[in-house]
Structure 1
Amino acid sequence: MSNKVYNSAKEALEGLTFDGMTVMAGGFGLCGIPENLILALRDSGVKDITAISNNAGVDDFGLGLLLQTRQIKKMISSYVGENKEFERQYLSGELELEFNPQGTLAERCRAGGAGIPGFYTKTGVGTLVAEGKEHRDFDGETYILETGLVSDLSIVKAEKADTQGNLIFNKTARNFNPPMAMAGKVTVAEVEELVPTGSLNPDEIHLPGIFVQRVVKGTFEKRIEQRTTRKREHY
């Protein structure tokens, strides 16, 4: 078995990027985002990316960095509220956007990774989401057809990996990362800790290494998207 570990995020992306590619990026807000691989993707200069992600980070961090450099042509996402540049580019017609209900987006990624080309859901029926999509009735209820998503490259973030790419995620940082890793033609994972193969408890592995082609150990800023505090109470 070959070692999947690369020395840097830049090396881990070598030979994988091309203009017009589709990239899935795990994370929810700034939680569990592949910080190092996003920077390496920016520095690669690849352009006209279709990015599939729940949202696009914030203006100066996460996928927001790729919006600043105009490397993203289209977003397939669920939420855009924390990124002013995302909003500006979309409203000005500079950025294509395919909105998805959040659960639908998660299922589209899961379906793509499972080899399921499409599925029916009630979510979005009777709204703009349903326009142009096939409608079908089941037991007297109307459903719309949604398609599975597959990416040319998936970039994800995990807490721990072994050298064969078996991954363990940290609590809510798990979010979109496993289904997006499964849906990538090639998946690169950045991790906080690397351990030898065989040292992970098989029952604790969240994603088998068969879905991961490359692994890199990163350093992480782990920004807080919104810090909310209150005055300390004295008793």
Structure 2
Amino acid sequence: MCGIVGYIGEQDATPIILNGLKRLEYRGYDSAGLAVLQNSHIEVRRDAGKLSRLAALVEESPVHGHVGIGHTRWATHGAPSARNAHPHASANGKVVVVHNGIVENYLELREELAAEGVVFQSDTDTETIVHLVERYLSTGVTLVEAVRQALAHLKGAHGIVVMSPVEPDKIVAARIGNAGGVVIGLGNGEMFVASDMPAILDHTRKMVFLESR
């Protein structure tokens, strides 16, 4: 079961995400990463291993911003490695995704996307979601609509969080089936998203749990 944390507000997103992921260590994981919107560009830091390795990466190459998402992963499709760690980004950097669940039809989707010219950078099923969202976002629809259209292609149960520099004031979260929870935290001029309450309890007690559909 993967861990997910996201933040949008006025604070520095990086320490909030790292602390939230630490609160989710009880779920188990083999890799970790985060993505933060910095100067209109999304910076990604990720690696296999413990959160301490991710923290070291961030210390070596700092990233700061007010919008970000993070993830701890148990490998399903693709071995534990930096290239397979989340978040996953589209080639143009316009779509970044973290994901909990299994895309049951990912091989079919990979073939379809590869035929369209997509070059995959990982062995994960999650990367198919990235390219599907980017496919629809490039048509000019909103990020919410692009995510909605992408999700229509997926089989299986999923918890998904998406961000994009195209709409820098937004994080999109969705839950389909029972791949783990998605909880939205409401703060004072800020919002949080997580796969479980402990990740955001330091910041808010006002929460909304997304129902599966």
TM-score of the two chains, using structure 1 as the length reference = 0.31
TM-score of the two chains, using structure 2 as the length reference = 0.33
